[in-house]
């Protein structure tokens, strides 16, 4: 596929940019550039003194950012995991807003060779950062049955996790799992087509992707780093795409909001001093957005302000 065919429709664009409350002279960081839908909208609100820091762990996203913005003096670009954003010198002066639009982009899903999709046969890779780390094939070749089952259960809520892990370990000596099609066929055989409208590989592919990319650890570290680097009044906006991520974002905001936590079993726990305040409630895409972009259907946007 050509770069032109590999486009990404930004999710909850207006709501996210509104949430960041962009000021013309502010310094913003988009930790998930993708193909720049959100970045472009932030940039259109910046004056000559504003700065936009762009990160992505996918080298192809960074190449797209460089092709489009290298000549713009307001834009700085870095190929890295957003979990390391505080290690970037450009963030040390403080940030007025951080956006994390989590998960994978449409180009990553649509480019079969990346191995994220069970709809096309391709090498079983699934790494967002193709320059480092273990692929899904390498993980499935090395992990023991218990670890595979735990990943499928914890990150995919796959009820058949143990049976699937057993089948993978039983089959892999004869034929290592190197192709998406091979894994999809095993999942179809073990799980069967029980959930109408849902491919039997959906949960396991999601779980492996989260594991291969360490997505939940990156989110936690990224939110902590953002909190450290945000200026007072700066905004954190996170768009998540499944309940594990949204739960982590919700708890992060709650745990830093200084509220006393009531526990049913013990006395109320005195929270640490407040560092964040939620801005409004969780927001969801409109029916119109979902109709125009079905990939937005599971999105949840949460915004918080640094105190
Ligand atoms: C949903 S897309 C972002 C789309 C983007 N907002 C746009 O409008 O084009 C997610 C992007 O974030 C990147 N990504 C996911 N987790 C990351 C992380 N921990 N650090 C850096 N980039 C990450 C992916 O490589 C992907 O390009």
pLDDT in tens, 124-152: 999 999 999 999 999 999 999 999 999 99
CA angle 23, 62, 236 (to 5 degrees): 35
> Ligand 1: does its nearest atom lie under 6 Å from the Cβ of 10?
yes
The per-residue pLDDT for 78 is 98
Question: Cα(44)–Cα(170) distance, rounded to whole angstroms?
Answer: 55
Residue nearest to atom 13 of ligand 1 (CA): 32
Q: Kindly list the distances between the CA atom of residue 264 and the CA atoms of 248, 250, 251, 258, 261, in Å, as whole numbers in the listed order.
A: 21, 20, 18, 19, 10
Question: Cα(192)–Cα(10) distance, rounded to whole angstroms?
Answer: 34
* pLDDT tens digits, 246-300: 999 999 999 999 876 666 777 776 667 899 999 999 999 999 999 999 999 999 9
Query: How many A from CA of 241 to the centre of ligand 1?
Result: 12
Q: Residue 79's beta-bridge partner residues?
A: 56
CATH number for the segment(s) 3-106+216-306: 3.40.50.150
> Ligand 1: does its nearest atom lie under 6 Å from the Cβ of 91?
no
Q: Kindly list the distances between the CA atom of residue 36 and the CA atoms of 57, 75, 99, 178, 263, in Å, as whole numbers in the listed order.
A: 14, 12, 12, 32, 43
43, 56, 296, 297, best to mutate for ligand 1 pocket (most atoms within 8 Å of CB) = 56
How many residues comprise the chain? 307
CATH number for the segment(s) 112-213: 1.10.150.170
Query: How many A from CA of 64 to the centre of ligand 1?
Result: 12
Query: How many A from CA of 33 to the centre of ligand 1?
Result: 6
Query: How many A from CA of 154 to the centre of ligand 1?
Result: 22
- In this prediction, residue 3 has a pLDDT band, given cuts at 50, 70 and 90, of low
For the chain, give the percent of residues with pLDDT over 70: 95
Domain range list for the chain = 3-106+216-306, 112-213
Which atom from ligand 1 is nearest to the alpha carbon of 214? 19
230 Cβ contact partners less than 8 Å away, ≥ 6 residues apart? 94, 95, 96, 97, 98, 236, 306
Query: How many A from CA of 40 to the centre of ligand 1?
Result: 14
Residue nearest to atom 3 of ligand 1 (CA): 34
């Amino acid at each position: 596929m050509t770069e032109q065919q590999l486009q990404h429709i930004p999710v909850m664009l207006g709501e996210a940019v509104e949430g960041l409350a962009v000021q013309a002279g502010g310094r913003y960081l988009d930790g998930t550039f993708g193909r720049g839908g959100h970045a472009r909208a932030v940039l259109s609100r910046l004056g000559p003194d504003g700065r936009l820091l762009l990160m992505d762990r996918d080298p192809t996203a960074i190449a797209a950012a460089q092709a489009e913005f290298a000549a713009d003096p307001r834009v700085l670009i870095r190929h890295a995991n957003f979990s390391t954003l505080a290690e970037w010198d450009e963030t040390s002066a403080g940030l007025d807003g951080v956006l994390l639009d989590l998960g994978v982009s449409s180009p990553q899903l649509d480019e079969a060779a990346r191995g994220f999709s069970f709809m096309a046969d391709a090498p079983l890779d699934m790494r967002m950062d193709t320059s480092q780390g273990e692929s899904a094939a390498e993980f499935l070749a090395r992990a023991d049955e218990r670890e595979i089952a735990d990943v499928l259960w914890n990150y995919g809520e796959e009820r058949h996790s143990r049976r699937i892990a057993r089948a993978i370990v039983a089959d892999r000596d004869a034929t290592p799992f190197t192709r998406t099609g091979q894994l999809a066929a095993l999942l179809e055989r073990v799980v069967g087509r029980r959930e109408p409208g849902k491919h039997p590989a959906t949960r396991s592919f999601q779980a492996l992707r989260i594991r291969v990319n360490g997505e939940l650890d990156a989110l936690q570290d990224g939110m902590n780093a953002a909190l450290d680097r945000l200026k007072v009044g700066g905004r954190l906006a996170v768009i998540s795409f499944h309940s594990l991520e949204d739960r982590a974002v919700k708890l992060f905001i709650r745990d830093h909001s200084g509220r006393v936590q009531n526990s049913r079993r013990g006395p109320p726990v005195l929270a640490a001093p407040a560092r964040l305040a939620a801005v409004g409630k969780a927001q969801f895409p409109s029916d119109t957005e979902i109709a125009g972009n079905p990939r937005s259907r599971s999105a949840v946007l949460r915004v918080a302000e640094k105190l």
